[in-house]
Structure 1
């Protein structure tokens, strides 16, 4: 009897992913900031015959908003209409948010006007869209209309409106019949975020005077305000109030304390707060990492990151931004490149323009200008002006005139209203002794009505902030300050200090250059600190621009001569001067 053949194996079954699985994968990509991957997954989903639902559309619109990708968003809008999801309020809110973030307020308004009803999220998305597009007064009008329709404003929205038009928002705030803690918090946070820290602190005092008690969010706003104006002593008083209120264990308050102490120049206090926190979330860990980075403690930053990984703390794009900043401030090129590579390969985080700018600066400061240029040209996203500015700054440091001219043209094309591009190119020409071209660039800046940011340095003494500009004559103790500088100049010269007039980029006589150099705002602030504080106490000053090379050199001499620690925070980082040395090791 012949043997029967076994039946053929069944054909392999194709596993059909559910809509829930697709949406979960989309959500993971969006949460990780991998918006392009989310868009590709959405296309793959349609190719495999899966029909998107409202949750799919909400997530993919979020990806479009963050890229931004206006045309793709319009295409998805058409698919939403065809699917019948255009009446869903969550989908409509996502459409408004997408159009607003992509800069098309007309489309956002069309969606808004076709909606049968609006909720708080709808209004907030539209208002913040106008804020982002620079239409502050329109945002304020919408904010008032929202209130008239009985909607309770989101504090974040109020913060955005205050950012856009502080004076008008203040008028609305004053006209409120009832100002609860939410309204106060919004104003305090708004002023802190839009650079009006003193106004925010004034409001917090007024709030307490009117009998409204601070809550954790209030303290966060107050600490942000202290950080923005480097008001260390006021920050310490607020810390005492936090302890008395029982909010010291709040993780968000603790994170804000770390950030405040770090930005006010006291890394030791920042560490003490972090070390005493009963529990720490990602924000607290990242705040401490950022503190190490801005103070130039690269080794501590790398060790801190390793500890984060060992303890299973979630890592995000902000974490890597702080990590890369620590590497660039210390010139750790190989380590920085290694971490940059691991962002995507090990953590699934797509680098943004900010991360690329950090790495370009890291390479540029190390003299690897060609490598930095190659990195920019191979970026998967379009490099913005900030990325090119990082390379332009490196050209200024290394005196590469040819590359600097080329890069400056790109910067001015991308951001013609940014004065830094004109100033850097002018300085490159001036450093090369080409005063005619330097003047031509400055003339172009003036013709385009681009105002140069004035250098300012400030210092807090007895809870009062004193601000100085170059050749300042306004301070009531300016004669005493000049006398102190004269005294220091003699001692510094005897100790071997030689003024570096290459940092005075003006075509004037050497004697005039020396005069202006001696009266830079940094030196004025240090001199005021010396005559206004007890001997031996640290001096902390803060500058809105990068500290100049001569002031950096002079401060090393001053710190040694007076036997004090001098701490300077400039636009990039902190410098700790002590015993004739700086923590940056002259690499900044």
Structure 2
């Protein structure tokens, strides 16, 4: 019964039944605790996230007291519970303490790191998994490909693809979908398109992945055409598919198509648009210069606009230099998330673009008081299979001095190249 409640998402009922079971003199076994921890992991309600984590921690303590933490199934369930709650450090400690590991436990920790920005660590774990003699499955490979998409690791994506073909996993639909996203996010549109064409029976995820890849690469017409093809094939779209095509319309300024799809979503498929869908429409109007229409759309929404929608409107105001509307949007953002540095950066960039330096100084002062030191935005480049990250004026990299010397040399050569007399008379450049 505990497992039945848990598998149907009835968390409270499963926990109450377990408490009654304990009071009746039955301590529970590995199957019982695996079911309970599965219930903790399967629930995604944000309102109860802290409570669910506390319940999971209490189960963890009871598991240790009963010595069941040595059971690979129970330990994997513990790991998965912490991973789904976003507690990567705790999940890693559970994994490190495991005496026995199987493919499922390796997958759980790899997925954990991949979903929380630890793509590099996920690949290091994959290497350890192979050395441990444990064979990966389609979940392992698709998770690693998702990490390739998130951190723009093109070299790793191509190597994984070669390994997938070698072990004969290219026919798994889940792997094919992940390959489309990995190639698309790395800018390899031809490879992504080829992968899409190689899948004999594409499902909704396949179509959505290709539409999103086209939108991500700025190929709006291709995204719209493929979305229409999907509808003609009788595939019923979901919110993710609509978000992909709306994003494409937004980037290309396709106003008629954007509103056509949002009406199609609401009228024909009876789906309520999320703030992400509506923010695409606001961005679409703003990019087209229709700030007044974007403002009317925001204030007349059936529910209060959230951070995504207001942020999209503020971005449109910055693009068009509309200071007054930007101030209104900034005040809304500050009331919704007063400690988020991104909101202050948006309005400060708007002031900077308009040359309003006094207003910019005021916002930066408030930002320092409210947010402290912000985490700087970074860029990255993959060299020799290693992703290097850096920020503006970064001197942390051990190659920084060599890079600066090379830049000085390039600047010197450029100055010489602009003066023909100096080039002819300077033997050092021969």
The bucket for the TM-score relative to the shorter chain is 0.7 to 0.9
* Superposed displacement of residue 379, structure 1: 2.3
3-state SS in 2 of match to 1:448: helix
Q: Which residue of 1 aligns with 2:233?
A: 311
Q: Which residue of 2 aligns with 1:198?
A: 120
Q: Which residue of 2 aligns with 1:357?
A: 279
Contact 1:131 1:160 in 2 (8 A): no
Q: Deviations over 1:545-574 (max 9, x none)?
A: xxxxxxxxxxxxxxxxxxxxxxxxxxxxxx
The equivalences for 1:102-121 within 5 A come to 112-113=15-16, 116=20
Contact 2:3 2:14 in 1 (8 A): no
Are 1:177 and 2:91 counterparts? no
Contact 2:9 2:42 in 1 (8 A): no
d(CA) in 1 for partners of 2:3 and 2:202?
A: 38
Are 1:438 and 2:360 counterparts? yes
* Superposed displacement of residue 156, structure 1: 11
| Match among 37, 57, 61 for residue 141 of structure 1 | 57
Contact 2:314 2:329 in 1 (8 A): yes
* Superposed displacement of residue 215, structure 1: 0.6
d(CA) in 2 for partners of 1:474 and 1:383?
A: 41
Q: Which residue of 1 aligns with 2:371?
A: 449
Contact 2:103 2:134 in 1 (8 A): yes
In the superposition, relative to structure 1, how do residues 479 and 276 fare at CA in structure 2: closer, same or farther (>3 Å)?
Answer: same
In the superposition, relative to structure 1, how do residues 137 and 313 fare at CA in structure 2: closer, same or farther (>3 Å)?
Answer: closer
* Superposed displacement of residue 169, structure 1: 1.5
The equivalences for 1:483-562 within 5 A come to 485=407
* Superposed displacement of residue 449, structure 1: 3.2
d(CA) in 2 for partners of 1:286 and 1:114?
A: 41
d(CA) in 2 for partners of 1:439 and 1:481?
A: 33
Q: Which residue of 1 aligns with 2:38?
A: 124
3-state SS in 1 of match to 2:388: strand
Q: Which residue of 1 aligns with 2:428?
A: none
Q: TM-score, normalised by structure 2?
A: 0.82
Are 1:322 and 2:244 counterparts? yes
The equivalences for 1:254-273 within 5 A come to 254-273=176-195
3-state SS in 1 of match to 2:261: helix
In the superposition, relative to structure 1, how do residues 317 and 181 fare at CA in structure 2: closer, same or farther (>3 Å)?
Answer: same
* Superposed displacement of residue 129, structure 1: 5.7
d(CA) in 2 for partners of 1:251 and 1:411?
A: 41
In the superposition, relative to structure 1, how do residues 350 and 488 fare at CA in structure 2: closer, same or farther (>3 Å)?
Answer: farther
Q: Which runs of 5 or more structure 1 residues have no equivalent in the other structure?
A: 1-86, 97-107, 496-588
* Superposed displacement of residue 223, structure 1: 1.0
The equivalences for 1:54-73 within 5 A come to none
* Superposed displacement of residue 270, structure 1: 1.0
Q: Which residue of 1 aligns with 2:330?
A: 408
Q: Deviations over 1:391-424 (max 9, x none)?
A: 0111111111111111111111112232111111
Contact 1:124 1:154 in 2 (8 A): no
Q: Which residue of 2 aligns with 1:396?
A: 318
d(CA) in 2 for partners of 1:189 and 1:391?
A: 35
* Superposed displacement of residue 244, structure 1: 1.6
Contact 1:181 1:214 in 2 (8 A): yes
* Superposed displacement of residue 264, structure 1: 1.7
Contact 1:392 1:408 in 2 (8 A): yes
Are 1:463 and 2:382 counterparts? no
* Superposed displacement of residue 325, structure 1: 0.7
Contact 2:110 2:143 in 1 (8 A): yes
Q: TM-score, normalised by structure 1?
A: 0.61
d(CA) in 2 for partners of 1:377 and 1:421?
A: 19
Are 1:279 and 2:201 counterparts? yes
d(CA) in 1 for partners of 2:230 and 2:78?
A: 29
* Superposed displacement of residue 278, structure 1: 2.6
| Match among 290, 298, 301 for residue 379 of structure 1 | 301
Alignment length, in residue pairs?
Answer: 398
3-state SS in 1 of match to 2:371: coil
d(CA) in 1 for partners of 2:92 and 2:130?
A: 18
Q: Which runs of 5 or more structure 2 residues have no equivalent in the other structure?
A: 22-31, 418-430
In the superposition, relative to structure 1, how do residues 131 and 452 fare at CA in structure 2: closer, same or farther (>3 Å)?
Answer: farther
In the superposition, relative to structure 1, how do residues 310 and 123 fare at CA in structure 2: closer, same or farther (>3 Å)?
Answer: same
d(CA) in 2 for partners of 1:493 and 1:413?
A: 51
3-state SS in 2 of match to 1:195: coil
| Match among 138, 158, 165 for residue 236 of structure 1 | 158
Larger Rg belongs to: 1
Q: Deviations over 1:37-95 (max 9, x none)?
A: xxxxxxxxxxxxxxxxxxxxxxxxxxxxxxxxxxxxxxxxxxxxxxxxxx996499645
Q: Which residue of 1 aligns with 2:290?
A: 368
Q: Which residue of 2 aligns with 1:227?
A: 149
Are 1:476 and 2:398 counterparts? yes
